[in-house]
Homo-oligomer: A and B are copies of this chain.
């Protein structure tokens, strides 16, 4: 035992009457080792509670046991779910997770990231959207020799470097559901320009409307920036229309909460006067009144797979993990959707496929 309290490999070697290297072999599960010696060493290790020092190990191996999580503060719940997924994958491995928020807007963002990566010499990083959508970020990781996996709402890279959800199809299906309920005048509260997710969700919405042969005037689309307030403002614009929409798809839950507020401020009843669907299935969706029908994407599983891709071949993990790259979202039906009211000017087009 050294003064630091923690026993070192030398202590083990001395006590077991072998060389450091032998102990090292035991630690690293070298196959060419006498069963006896191994046993003896393992016993000593157990007795004195020896734990290899990751710093020394990392130095000798010229590598590092840290995995970075790089994000640009999307909503808190998403980040937490991703952290949880990563940690699940890393659990039991020798890797730890270090978190690095970045300011997407900042001019020095790329520099900051480079500094971080070069300084810490991270083993790899998990890139969360929307930063993950930035190709130069991925290129930077590559050039520095830092592994990476990107999370996105659409395939952003080859399967070894990304996990993706199918936002476009999921929104299309959600909109189909609205249409199946009898809605024709459906508004879209879109996400911010430059966000791939916003684009995919909008495309999905347009797909559904086009498939149903419903014209989609530009006025039925109002963009927000994924915040509550922007959702409220966008909804006001939409609800000012005459005739006003009977349903609104919001590109995330937080904006959907804003839509609900806007509707409520006008005395509109949800879902009687207005149906609403959100996206993300954050806790807010279930806690809002009425509970919000929304699209759930498997962020935790995606993060877990992403992390597993990162450490594939390391630390006893199978060299070629075949983790999935594409993940499916599902529509969570709650109470914010109902067939449209038979109000004047409503069923202008086809009074057909009107369920229940």
CA distance A97 to B260 in the complex (A): 38
Query: Does A73 interact with chain B (Cβ within 8 Å)?
Result: yes
CA distance A9 to B73 in the complex (A): 36
Chain B residues near A101 (CB, 8 Å)? 83-84, 87
A102-128 residues with Cβ-Cβ distance < 8 A to B are 115, 118-121
Closest B residue to A258 using CB positions: B287
Count of chain A residues near B, Cβ 8 A? 47
Query: Interface readout for A113-152 with B: 1 if CB under 8 Å, 0 if not?
Result: 0010011110000000000000000000000010000000
Q: Are B118 and A99 touching (Cβ within 8 A)?
A: no
Q: Are B51 and A55 touching (Cβ within 8 A)?
A: no
Query: Does A228 interact with chain B (Cβ within 8 Å)?
Result: yes
* Segment of A30-38, A74-82, A191-199, A241-249 engaged in the interface with chain B: A74-82
* Segment of A57-65, A155-163, A203-211 engaged in the interface with chain B: A57-65
Q: Are A6 and B118 touching (Cβ within 8 A)?
A: yes
The minimal Cβ–Cβ distance linking A61 to chain B, given in whole angstroms, is 10
Q: Are B287 and A289 touching (Cβ within 8 A)?
A: no
Chain B residues near A341 (CB, 8 Å)? none
The minimal Cβ–Cβ distance linking A298 to chain B, given in whole angstroms, is 17
Query: Does A326 interact with chain B (Cβ within 8 Å)?
Result: no
Closest B residue to A77 using CB positions: B76
Query: Does A19 interact with chain B (Cβ within 8 Å)?
Result: no
Query: Does A257 interact with chain B (Cβ within 8 Å)?
Result: yes
Chain B residues near A6 (CB, 8 Å)? 118, 121
CA distance A237 to B192 in the complex (A): 44
Query: Does A96 interact with chain B (Cβ within 8 Å)?
Result: yes
CA distance A324 to B130 in the complex (A): 36
With A284-B287, A286-B228, A289-B260 as known contacts, state yes or no: A96 contacts B120, CB within 8 Å. yes
Query: Does A317 interact with chain B (Cβ within 8 Å)?
Result: no
Q: Are A53 and B287 touching (Cβ within 8 A)?
A: no
Instruction: Give the most central of A260, A264, A283: most B CB within 10 Å.
Output: A283
Q: Are B66 and A76 touching (Cβ within 8 A)?
A: no
Query: Does A313 interact with chain B (Cβ within 8 Å)?
Result: no
Closest B residue to A80 using CB positions: B76
Query: Does A185 interact with chain B (Cβ within 8 Å)?
Result: no
Instruction: Pick the residue among B56, B66, B80 that contacts A73 (CB under 8 A).
Output: B80
Chain B residues near A264 (CB, 8 Å)? 289
Binding site for B on A (CB under 8 A): 4-6, 49, 51, 53-56, 58-59, 62, 64, 66, 73, 76-77, 79-81, 83-84, 87, 96-99, 101, 115, 118-121, 145, 228, 254, 257-258, 260-261, 264, 283-284, 286-289
Which 6 residue pairs of A and B lie closest in terms of their CB atoms, listed nearest first? Answer: A76-B80, A257-B287, A76-B76, A76-B77, A55-B58, A96-B98
List 11 additional A-B contacts (Cβ < 8 Å) besides A55-B58, A66-B98, A76-B283: A53-B121, A54-B121, A56-B59, A66-B96, A76-B79, A83-B101, A87-B99, A96-B120, A261-B287, A264-B289, A287-B288
Identify 5 residue pairs between A and B in the complex whose beta-carbon atoms are under 8 Å apart, listed by A's number.
A51-B118, A76-B79, A96-B98, A284-B287, A287-B288
